[in-house]
Structures are given as C-alpha cells and as structure tokens.
Structure 1
C-alpha cells in the first residue's frame, strides 16, 4: 500500500463533498493483505502482540519469498503495482504482470534506493526480464500460501468486525470521530484530517471521496493511496484494524465483543467499567505491562476508554461509548 508522499504529519483536506463520500471497503483483498503481512513481519513495533507471530513466520517462510522484501519495506510506502485491488490471487497476479510495461525509471530508482539487497534483480524486473518476473510470481504465490490462505477466515473476521464497529461509530458520532479513531495520533483541524507522525505528506481529496480499508496486519499510521480507479478516482485509506491478527482466536469468537476486540481487549474493556491502573489490569489479566499499554492505547484511540495520570499511576476507565458497546454485546 504505497503512501502517496518526509517531515512529520499526514494532512488530508476534505471538501464537503468528500465528507459525504466516505465509504468502507466491502471485503479484505488477498494481494493487499499479502503485502501487509510481509510488511508486518519486517516491522518491530507492537512486539507484545506480533512478536510470536513474527517468530513463527520467520521459521515458516520459504526462501523464494525473499525477492519481495526488496519491494515491500516495513514503512508500507511501497510500489503499488505489487498489491493490486483484486478479489482473487489469480486476478491479482495477472494485474501485477500487466503493470510491467507501465513501470517507470523513477519508480525503479526509488525502489532500489530502499531495497536491502542489490539492485540487479530489480533492474531485471523493470527491464521485463522473464526470469525476474517468474521469480516475482512465485514469491507472491508462496507468501500468500504461507501467510494468508490458512488465516483467511480470521482476516475476514477482523475486517468485518472493524467495519461493523466503525459504521456504528460513524452513525452515532459522525465521520470525523470515525476517522479520528483510526490512529491514536489522528485528529482534525477544521476540515483537515491529521495524523501527527512521519513521513510528512499533505494533499486534498478534490471531491473524489475516500474508501476506508482496515488491515489486521498493518501497525503504523494510516496510509493514503490511489484507489482501484487510478489517480482520478477515490483514494483509499489503509489503517490498523481494531483487532490485529494475532489476537483473533483460531475458532469462532465467543461473542460479538470478542470478535470485534479480541478476547484480551474485550476483557480489558470489561474490567474498565471500574477505574483501574495499568498495573492492576496486568495483574488481573495475567499479562505484561507493555501488553496492557498497547491494548489501552488502541481502546483509547477508538474512543472506548479514557486515560489520565494521577501522580505516578496511570488510570483507565471506560467511556460512555465503551459502556454502550459492552451493554449491546458489540
């Protein structure tokens, strides 16, 4: 998911028409999630959530996936041709191959400058070398088979639960609250949506609107990219799903709240009907302090809890929205 954009803030200007033309993607897309999974594997943030998953992937990932790491870097700011908006892997691979003639020298220079390996394979790819493109095809297929295919029901569960929650949030509190909940550092200045972290990028939507797409693998700030209709169509905002893949149980969720938040985050929210400190949450749930901090950060960004400092203690409690969610069961 290439971030169309280095200082420190993402700024997206909305017109009235844009605000009325914000929708959610209808389903997760296998090529996009394959790319996001490879990005998540290389990142080092949220270790208490993704650490074990990354270790397992490192053991299972076949060597033929290696070329993809020259294209898909941990910040998610990657060439978009390798992650088309296709509903099946076969359609996606065909779209990747069709993109070959349109790749530019500027894109090659930018991609090679970020790649950890030598640029020879990338130059061959951009030069439409048959063997290089066969390597790319095999790498994508292998990554999909290892990372995505076995987990597809859980990926869909995370996606659908997030969309259901934010649709409810949009209906109750409006589009600004919905978008602000996509990241702890997200907010609004007038009609400008802002996320206060690098890289710097400012743009307007020009009345084309925005499609929201949660990913259970992405852990960084929201990524703004061209949509499936190209430069003149609606943009896409990829953001971290409320429940990342490692927190989704292998079987059906016990309830709607577990499906939405994951069992641990649901348990955190339930405990916060009464105010608790970070240490108390860690003790009551038998999890680490860093894990509690990551869960409360996500719940806070979603507007479900508030946090305040009282001397050395950090106090958390459910908001009215959080209590409503608990009462409704999600």
Structure 2
C-alpha cells in the first residue's frame, strides 16, 4: 500500500516479462512534462533549486498554456506524452499534434473534473489548428530553456543507470530488475506494485512494459492513466546537486581532474568494464599509473571497481558519467 494508501498495480502475463525493456535514453516529452511539475512546486530543492530559479527567470508567457495542462499535482493530460522512444523532440511533437480529437477531448474532460480549464480548452479539445500550433510552439520554447541546455548531462546519467540495470538483468533476470527498480516498487509475481497517489491497475496483456529513465521524475515512478496507450513506467534515476553542470565540456573535466586522470575516466565511460591493464594499454601509461588513477576516481565516487576472473574491471557511476558528457 502506498504513501497515500493507494497502489499502482501493473499486471504481467508470461509474454510481458520477455517484452519488458529499458529505453536507451530519456524521452524528451516525458522530461518536459515531469520538469513542468517540478518547476511549479518546491520539491527537491537541493537537487533542482538552482535549475528552477534559472528556468523561471527565462520563461515567456507561452509557458502558461503548459502549466494549465500539466499542473504540479494530480492528473496531467496524457496526450502530452503520447509514447516514448520517438528519438527527438520534433518526432514526439508530431505525435502530440496528431492526437485524435477523441483523445484530446477525453483527456481534457478528465482534467476538467479536477480543476477549471482556460477559455481555449474547447478549441484544443476540438483539435483546432491554431491552438495546436500554439501548443507545439510552447513546448519548443519551454524545452529550449528548461531541457535542451542540460540534455547531454541528462542523457549521460540515464545511460549510466541503464548500464547498471543491464548488469542486474544479466545476473538475475527481468524479475530482479523490477524488484530493484525503486524503493517504492515491489515485485509480487505476477504484478508490479508501486506506491502511488491513486489506486490504478494496468494490465499489459502481452504488450510488455517500456521502462523510461528520467532525471525529472521525482519520488515515485509514474505511468499514463489511459491503459489503452503504450504501457510505460517512467522511473527516477540518480542525480546529485549540480547535475546541470554535468554537461560541462571535457576541457572543464581536464582542469578539474588533470589530463591523464580525465583520460582514464573518459576511457572507462566509453568502454565500461575495462580492466586496469586495458586502461593502461589504451592510454599508453604504466600499469601502476592506471591503478593509481583508478583508485583516486573510485575514492571520489566517479567509478566502481569489480573483481572478475582475477582482474579489476571498472565502470562509471552515475556521477562519473554525468561529469564527462556523453554525446546524445
């Protein structure tokens, strides 16, 4: 039972476990929606406070349209996140602006049950082109201010999370992945139970579940209300105060760590599970030097070292990957 006495139950059939996968990077529209929730409140101030202040100073009036559709609490319209994995913002926007009128009307009716809607809501429910174009422009403007400057850092941290969860799948299978997804998640075969603001059931029915990593997802994983749409579960990834600095250019990391140590971190981020010997060979440094640099990086929380087959193999932590930008 959840924090509010409520639970989201995702019901799996045999085929659903085989069809469950993790998206290879965050979804731009989900990051847009969830960041809008955070922007309108004060949750996670140590992590999001500076980002929140910067974004609030930079927004224009078009953001008001988005705030109306994505309030900080309760239901947000599903059509803002029509799917996941479109690849880029424009592909996702094509899906948003192509939402059938019946779904626009249904989502806005659901939203209207909880709060008054602005005067333009009937025009949006009817799929009128002018308001749809205004919506598309508002999302683009918001994304350019709130998300795009930090996208490399967001992608970097999500990829580090995916790497770590991939190791869990290799060692324990999909059920182990689901069991360790988040502290508020419990695998009670054949259902995944999640502490949630409302009681909700999602029957996958053989469609599988797409797990979507998110930097802006706060406290609890989230899904769509409409069970007929693509089954997704968006879950929080690790992030630290100052995460928005994770997109700093490599030169900045070199100044911070020193040229050789930054190169060691870069090599481990590019090829996780490199052994110390392989790091030394790749960079043309001594084995003792590679070992010393790896020790410093490990003690700083930038890499983790595992023993496999008698060799020390290194992989980046979420913070280590975030510090060294990975191209989107």
TM-score (norm 1): 0.68
Give 3-state SS (helix, strand or coil) of 1:208's partner. Answer: coil
Could you tell which deviates more after superposition, 167-176 or 129-138? 129-138
- In structure 1, the partner of 2:287 is none
Q: Give the Cα–Cα distance (whole angstroms) in 1 for the partners of residues 13 and 111 of structure 2.
A: 33
Unaligned 5+ segments in structure 1 are 1-5, 261-266, 273-321
Distance change >3 Å, CA 209–CA 134, structure 1 → 2: closer
The answer to whether the Cα contact below 8 Å between 1:65 and 1:138 also exists between their aligned partners in 2 is no
- In structure 2, the partner of 1:93 is 93
Q: Give the Cα–Cα distance (whole angstroms) in 1 for the partners of residues 151 and 204 of structure 2.
A: 32
The superposition leaves residues 234-274 of structure 1 with CA deviations (integer Å, 9 ceiling, x where unpaired) of 621111122368425232575489999xxxxxx9x9599xx
Give 3-state SS (helix, strand or coil) of 1:195's partner. Answer: strand
- In structure 2, the partner of 1:9 is 7
1:9: how far off?
Answer: 0.9
The answer to whether the Cα contact below 8 Å between 1:217 and 1:244 also exists between their aligned partners in 2 is no
2:21 counterpart of 1:23:
yes
Distance change >3 Å, CA 82–CA 245, structure 1 → 2: farther
- In structure 2, the partner of 1:316 is none
1:41: how far off?
Answer: 1.5
1:8: how far off?
Answer: 0.8
Distance change >3 Å, CA 103–CA 202, structure 1 → 2: closer
1:114: how far off?
Answer: 4.0
The superposition leaves residues 108-162 of structure 1 with CA deviations (integer Å, 9 ceiling, x where unpaired) of 22223445x6431212211334442232122111111111222221121122111
- In structure 1, the partner of 2:31 is 33
1:64: how far off?
Answer: 1.4
Could you tell which deviates more after superposition, 152-161 or 97-106? 97-106
2:228 counterpart of 1:231:
yes
The answer to whether the Cα contact below 8 Å between 2:184 and 2:194 also exists between their aligned partners in 1 is yes
Unaligned 5+ segments in structure 2 are 254-261, 273-295, 317-328
Q: Give the Cα–Cα distance (whole angstroms) in 2 for the partners of residues 211 and 171 of structure 1.
A: 18
- In structure 1, the partner of 2:247 is 250
Q: Give the Cα–Cα distance (whole angstroms) in 2 for the partners of residues 14 and 129 of structure 1.
A: 38
- In structure 1, the partner of 2:78 is 80
Distance change >3 Å, CA 244–CA 43, structure 1 → 2: farther
- In structure 2, the partner of 1:241 is 237
- In structure 1, the partner of 2:148 is 149
The answer to whether the Cα contact below 8 Å between 2:105 and 2:126 also exists between their aligned partners in 1 is no
1:324: how far off?
Answer: 4.1
Q: Give the Cα–Cα distance (whole angstroms) in 1 for the partners of residues 125 and 221 of structure 2.
A: 28
Q: Give the Cα–Cα distance (whole angstroms) in 2 for the partners of residues 7 and 128 of structure 1.
A: 37
TM-score (norm 2): 0.69
Rg larger for: 2
Over aligned residues, Cα RMSD in angstroms? 3.4
The correspondence for 1:56, drawn from 54, 61, 64, is 54
1:189: how far off?
Answer: 2.2
- In structure 1, the partner of 2:168 is 169
The answer to whether the Cα contact below 8 Å between 2:23 and 2:212 also exists between their aligned partners in 1 is yes
